[in-house]
Amino acid sequence: MVLPLGDLQPTRITPFVTYALIAINVVMYVVQVDRGEDFKFALAATPWEITHNRDIDEPIVNPQQAVRVQDPRDPFGERIPANAPPDVIPHAPCPIPIWLTLFTSMFLHGSPMHLAGNMLYLWIVGDNVEEVLGEVRYLIVYLACGLAGSLLQIAAAPNSMIPTLGASGAIAGIMGAYVVWFPHNQIRVLVFRFITVLPAVVVIGGWIVLQIYLGSQAFGKMGESGGVAYLAHVGGAATGILVALLFYNRAQYIKAMDAHLQGWQTSPYQGY
């Protein structure tokens, strides 16, 4: 087991957007717990709903069930065969246009551990990426990576009726940008019972390669059961890497400036 604990590369900014994103995700999870499962699954992104622009507004209990769906053009709805796995798939009426669930799903999580893991990675890499991009661009890139991840997952299984949720795609994009810009940054990690440091290219690059491998292994079974949406990770990371290449020169300038200021602060001489 390898668990990242933090990077050793300070920034010159206070990463307000990163802190705000973490806070919003935590608050949304508290709301989820308070409102119950219907709230969570109403705002999750379901591939079938996105590709058909219809809302499945009741749980699917078995493959033969005819589920009720809501069409924005037909307020009375209709019933269609679920054609789904033989497991109960939770659904609830969505109070917003279905396409908006591509964004609301980014701020939902399935469990405390799901939330904690995602927020840990965002806290580690977010400040450095925010420093390079600036607050507005950083927020746009975060949302774009999450959207790209969801769309890739949906493209692989457009008729899946299994809801998807989580910030992993967005955070994978931030991680992708980080590893391109800061491959040699040292990250403190817990390896089994020992704490050590490893370069970002090993910790984050290795994680991205693992997601690609696991995604390729699961590709033929996409949409058949729940679990980890590996292609959402891959799509988000790929988008983040593309952004990193577009802003590579800016990142190098920021790194040089940081190195210069850190060198001045640690100089044995006193300037005046």
Per-residue pLDDT tens listing for the chain (272 residues) = 678 898 888 888 899 999 999 999 999 999 999 998 889 999 999 998 999 888 887 776 554 444 545 544 444 444 444 454 445 678 888 899 999 999 999 999 988 999 999 999 999 999 999 999 999 999 999 999 999 999 999 998 898 888 899 999 999 999 999 999 999 999 999 988 889 999 999 999 999 998 888 877 766 665 555 567 888 999 999 999 999 999 999 988 887 876 666 554 443 433 33
Best CA proximity match to 164, nearest among 29, 41, 82:
41
Rounded CA separation 53/56 (Å):
10
Check residue 219 and give its pLDDT. 62
Q: Which CATH architecture has domain 2-40+105-265?
A: Up-down Bundle (1.20)
Q: What is the pLDDT of residue 61?
A: 58
From the number of C-beta atoms within 10 Å of its C-beta (0-12, 13-18, 19+), residue 265 rates as exposed
How many Å is the Cα radius of gyration of the chain? 21
Q: Which two tokens stand for residue 165?
A: 């949720």
Would you call 184 a catalytic residue per the annotation?
A: no
The confidence score (pLDDT) of residue 55 equals: 85
Cβ contact 184:67 at 8 Å: no
For the record, the structure tokens of 4 come out as 């990242």
Question: Tokens standing for 63?
Answer: 């493959």
Q: What is the 3-state secondary structure (H, E, C) of the chain?
A: CEEEEEECCCCCCCCHHHHHHHHHHHHHHHHHHHHCHHHHHHHCECHHHHHHCCEECCCECCCCCEEEEEECCEEEEEEEECCCCCCCECCCCCCCCHHHHHHHHHHCCCCHHHHHHHHHHHHHHHHHHHHHHCHHHHHHHHHHHHHHHHHHHHHHCCCCCCCECCCHHHHHHHHHHHHHHCCCCEEEEEECCEEEEEEHHHHHHHHHHHHHHHHHHHHHHCCCCCCCCHHHHHHHHHHHHHHHHHCHHHHHHHHHHHHHHHHHHCCCCCCC
Q: Which of 228, 235, 211, 121 minimizes the C-alpha distance to 175? A: 121
pLDDT of residue 265: 46
pLDDT of residue 1: 66
Question: Global pTM?
Answer: 0.84
Enumerate the domain spans of the chain: 2-40+105-265
Q: Which of 114, 233, 260, 267 is catalytic?
A: 233
In 30-53, which positions are buried (b, 16+ CB within 10 angstroms) versus exposed (e)? Answer: eebeeeeeebbbbbbbbbbbbebe
What φ, ψ does residue 63 adopt, rounded to 5°? -60, -25
Q: Is 168 a catalytic residue?
A: yes
Catalytic residue, chosen from 114, 168, 216, 260, is: 168
For residues 153 and 139, what is the distance between their CA atoms, to the nearest angstrom? 22
